[in-house]
Structure 1
Amino acid sequence: MPPQLLPASAAAFAPRATSVNVVLSSKVEPWLTQTLKRINRVKRPLNSVPQHQRCLTETLSSSTAIWTLTSLMLQKAPEADLRKDSNPLVEALFNYQLIHVEAYIVHVDMVLRNEVAYKLTPDSIESLIEYHKEVHCVDISANTYNWSEKELQVKKIHEEFIQAINKFVYRTHVTALEGLEEDGAGELLCGKSEEVKNNIMGLFLPLLPPPPRIVDVVRPQPLLPSSPAGANWWTQSTIQTSIPAPVDSWRVLPSSPSTTASSDNSTLWANMAVNEIQLPSPTPSFSQPFSSAGYYYSSPPVSAPIPALPLPSMLAQQPCGISVGYGGFGWDSRFQDYATTM
């Protein structure tokens, strides 16, 4: 990489030199010849490299050879002092200002780097420093919290900006000289003004407060149960669900038999022996309800009491005879009368 050759006038806080340092190659570009012929009111001979160099040096060294690098729309006052209005045009007129960033050429190199170097004028530097102090520093200080070294940090940022803006030198290709006008003034072409704007706004640094201190938060230790039985109460929850014991489907009978259940019950009654069931005489005309607890009949809703039927164990204790099985109905005492009559 070739060394950066800049004159002493390009240093920070250096005054403008009386003569611009111009270095041309052994062959002059045709566009440079046409540009010099266009800006010179008095026709001057441009037949050699020294003639081009002399003409360009005298033109750029003039006090009127001021270039407009870019224009910045900046606030007139801090945010807290800005005027509030429903009309955006009124706010723009009263709250913002347009600063034209101007510079002069300090160096032209068409041999090593093919570049042109610009340095800001004292008026532009003063305007940017004033805006940085009165608006930018106030805003960044108001938008951050307070700490012990806040004012010192803001002051340091402003001092750094003063140094940076005085050292600011913009470099671009030598073709920028095509924007040269009469008396050496000019304007950057091909969108270079936006690049200058971004470079200058990058010098407005934000205020970075120190990170908050990390405070160790002491949390109370959770109390754990001391008894072994409850040691795992918080790790695992034991949920006991009562699972009913399996019941055979033939043991489950509905409490109120319906039409569908009657077909299933008919098979059940068909499998039962005749001697296992005894019905009162006469048979009631209504169906007796079942109980889900087992095969037990509930008492029929009759007005007269029904005589109890003898159990097989009771019949076994009586002597065998013709009256067996009929004593419950009172037929054994009058059987002889019936036989004589017959």
Structure 2
Amino acid sequence: MPPQLLPASAAAFAPRAASVNVVLSSKVEPWLTQTLKRINRIKRPLNSVPQHQRCLTETLSSSTAIWTISSLMLPKAPETELRKDSNPLVEALFNYQLIHVEAYIVHVDMVLRNEVAFKLTPDSIESLIDYHKEIYCVDTAASTYSWSEKEMQVKKLHEEFVQAINKFVYRTHVSALEGLEEDGAGELLCGKSDEVKTNIMGLFLPLLPPPPRVVDVVRPPPLLPSSPAGANWWSQSNLSVSVPAPVESWRVIPSSPSTTSSSSDSQSLWASMGLNEIQLPSPAPSYSQPYSSAGYFYSSPQVSAPIPSLPLPSMLAQQPCGVGIGYGGFGWDRYQEYATTM
């Protein structure tokens, strides 16, 4: 592929050259001859290649040789300031503006690439820069969430657009010169203006916020019972379950008569009480309540019948044997009396 050569006037921020760089082949196309004859008010001889080259160079180098290469319909203000109306025609009239993108020819090549190169005029560049700064950047920033470097990224986005729009050069086939008019002005034909519009709007880049940071969750290795650390962990867990909570001594009710009392005290206690009067104290309530589902299911309260109290064998062994031992007024010494009545 031959190298893409452009003059210095096509560089970014370069002023318009006094003369356009035109390179013609050894044979002039008939359509070019007819186009030059149509636009010239004064008839000029066009019998040779140098004459065609001189006529075309002078025509394109004129200060009035400004081409309209595209037209853009853009908002007049940011989206929050646009007028709302039920009639879409009213909204279009008050909220949108038509910007005509103008350019001038900086290069014509009919030898290597058969192309013509356009560069935007300073007025068109300024209009697009103002729109990008005052409207496009405002809408783009409003449509993205905030982060610490958002303003800096918006500023950087605008600076990149300024560089890109100044470097913008549209290249197309030399047949575009058929749209040449008087005084060197012209307009792109055959749908080329839509291609220019697509290329220019491609310079309006979106504002890309940074991706969310991925937080690495550091998980400790699982503790297995076979590992030393796991064995320690299991022993600690069992220890915490098996060791009961401390209970104050005065809250514990003894479940049996005190073993520290003497045998005489126990004998007198049991002798003075009848069979129906002896009652063993109920077991003391445990300090740790067992698991119960009473909080989730309703049940009637439990009723426990009193357990008849019986003397302990050890207490009976300490008393003297005989028929005189009585339990609540009933004695064995009156056995004969009860036996005769039976």
Cα drift, residue 216 of structure 1: 5.0
Structure 1 match to 2:137: 137
- 2: CA distance, partners of 1:5 / 1:67: 22
- 1: CA distance, partners of 2:49 / 2:215: 72
Cα drift, residue 215 of structure 1: 3.3
Structure 1 match to 2:68: 68
* Deviation per residue, 1:167-194 (Å, 9 max, x gap): 0000000000000000000000111000
* Deviation per residue, 1:255-274 (Å, 9 max, x gap): xxxxxxxxxxxxxxxxxxxx
Amino acid at match of 1:74: L
1:228-243 alignment runs, 5 A limit: none
Structure 1 match to 2:282: none
Structure 1 match to 2:307: none
Cα drift, residue 212 of structure 1: 1.0
User: Would you say 1:40 and 2:40 are equivalent positions?
Assistant: yes
* Deviation per residue, 1:285-330 (Å, 9 max, x gap): xxxxxxxxxxxxxxxxxxxxxxxxxxxxxxxxxxxxxxxxxxxxxx
- 2: CA distance, partners of 1:217 / 1:23: 67
- 1: CA distance, partners of 2:218 / 2:100: 58
Cα drift, residue 214 of structure 1: 2.1
Query: Residue 68 of structure 1 aligns to a residue in which SS?
Result: strand
Cα drift, residue 213 of structure 1: 1.6
Structure 1 match to 2:114: 114
- 2: CA distance, partners of 1:115 / 1:183: 21
Amino acid at match of 1:210: P
Amino acid at match of 2:50: P
Query: Residue 99 of structure 1 aligns to a residue in which SS?
Result: strand
- 2: CA distance, partners of 1:25 / 1:127: 37
* Deviation per residue, 1:229-264 (Å, 9 max, x gap): xxxxxxxxxxxxxxxxxxxxxxxxxxxxxxxxxxxx
Amino acid at match of 1:42: I
Cα distance, 1:4–1:84 mapped onto 2, change above 3 Å: same
> Which of these two proteins has the greater Rg computed from alpha carbons?
1
Structure 2 match to 1:80: 80
- 2: CA distance, partners of 1:215 / 1:57: 64
Cα drift, residue 115 of structure 1: 0.3
User: Would you say 1:158 and 2:158 are equivalent positions?
Assistant: yes
CA RMSD of aligned residues (A): 1.7
Query: Residue 126 of structure 1 aligns to a residue in which SS?
Result: helix
Structure 1 match to 2:325: none
Cα drift, residue 196 of structure 1: 0.3
- 1: CA distance, partners of 2:49 / 2:213: 67
Percent of aligned pairs with the same residue? 90
Amino acid at match of 1:51: Q
User: Would you say 1:22 and 2:22 are equivalent positions?
Assistant: yes
- 2: CA distance, partners of 1:66 / 1:179: 12
Amino acid at match of 2:201: M
Unaligned runs of 5+ in 2: 220-342
- 1: CA distance, partners of 2:218 / 2:5: 62
Cα drift, residue 165 of structure 1: 0.2
Amino acid at match of 2:110: M
- 1: CA distance, partners of 2:166 / 2:43: 37
- 1: CA distance, partners of 2:216 / 2:19: 65
- TM-score w.r.t. the length of structure 1 is 0.63
- 2: CA distance, partners of 1:148 / 1:105: 44
Amino acid at match of 2:132: H
- 1: CA distance, partners of 2:217 / 2:27: 75
Structure 2 match to 1:187: 187
- TM-score w.r.t. the length of structure 2 is 0.63
Amino acid at match of 1:121: T
1:159-308 alignment runs, 5 A limit: 159-216=159-216
Query: Residue 98 of structure 1 aligns to a residue in which SS?
Result: strand
* Deviation per residue, 1:100-157 (Å, 9 max, x gap): 0000000000000100000000000000000000000001100000000000000000
- Alignment: residue pair count: 222
User: Would you say 1:105 and 2:105 are equivalent positions?
Assistant: yes
Unaligned runs of 5+ in 1: 220-342
Cα drift, residue 217 of structure 1: 6.5
Structure 2 match to 1:13: 13
Structure 2 match to 1:324: none
Structure 2 match to 1:89: 89
Query: Residue 128 of structure 1 aligns to a residue in which SS?
Result: helix
Structure 2 match to 1:282: none
User: Would you say 1:50 and 2:44 are equivalent positions?
Assistant: no
Query: Residue 72 of structure 2 aligns to a residue in which SS?
Result: strand
* Deviation per residue, 1:21-69 (Å, 9 max, x gap): 0000000000000000000000000000000000000000000000000
* Deviation per residue, 1:197-225 (Å, 9 max, x gap): 00000000000101112235699xxxxxx
- 2: CA distance, partners of 1:50 / 1:215: 71
- 1: CA distance, partners of 2:107 / 2:211: 44
- 2: CA distance, partners of 1:166 / 1:122: 9
